[in-house]
Amino acid sequence: MKKRFYLLLLFLGVVSLSSYAQNKLNVGAAYYGETIFHPGFSINGEYEISLSESWSLPLRATTGYYFHKRNHQAVFLEITPGIRWHFGQTKRWYMSGYGGIGAMSSWHHSDDGIYEVDDNGNVSKKDSNYAGTSLTYMASVDFGYQISKERPQYLWVRPRMTWQTQVNQQSLYHLAVEIGYSITLN
């Protein structure tokens, strides 16, 4: 059931993105720092629908990976709609807000293996360090600057928070920062 949900989420994201292709298509890559210092990377595709000279509606699909040396590593996929305000005399600065949904799969790290306790209190070593796939919700704000007018290119910083649901019967919050570069393809 979970796999069907994630496939449906991915399909709906791709269909939604393709329906807005007549506007601006941006692609980018970023350093992804989970709690800033746990390194990773992300890549994203974004369709931006212009509402006016100052306002637009971006719809972004992001996938990425990060490595937390003493805890876990994870891959994620997200679909996030948002709103963007272009400002300044030449409208080269912008600020965006996003909120979205996605999925995160993670694997635990341990030099001695991963152990679990069953309902009877028995301890056993797990065969795999796979922690599972969780539904995620995320919110972010980004600040960017268009560094070139001829072929629009952007540098941006994106502080973000991800809420990972149902990890050992509780939710986990991940704070991260993305620092990236995007270019407009059309």
Domain residue limits, the chain: 2-184
Quick check: 83 pLDDT over 60?
Answer: yes
Q: What's residue 21's pLDDT?
A: 41
Higher-pLDDT residue of 7, 164: 164
Helix count (H) and strand count (E) of the chain? 1, 10
Higher pLDDT: 131 or 179? It is: 179
More confident residue, 145 or 69: 145
pLDDT at 118: 87
CA distance 61 to 77: 7
The CA angle 69-156-97, to the nearest 5 degrees, is 95
Tell me: the pLDDT tens digits for 127-150? 788 888 999 999 999 999 999 888
Q: CA quadruple 89, 94, 97, 98: dihedral positive or negative? A: positive
Q: Is the pLDDT of residue 58 over 80?
A: yes
pTM value is 0.79
CATH code: domain 2-184 is 2.40.160.20
Instruction: Say how many CA atoms lie within 13 Å of 70 toward its Cβ.
Output: 1
Average pLDDT, the chain: 87
Amino acid at 66: Y
- The 10s digit of each residue's pLDDT in 151-163 is 889 999 999 999 9
Query: From residue 116, how far is each of 49, 130, 168 by CA, in Å?
Result: 49, 12, 11
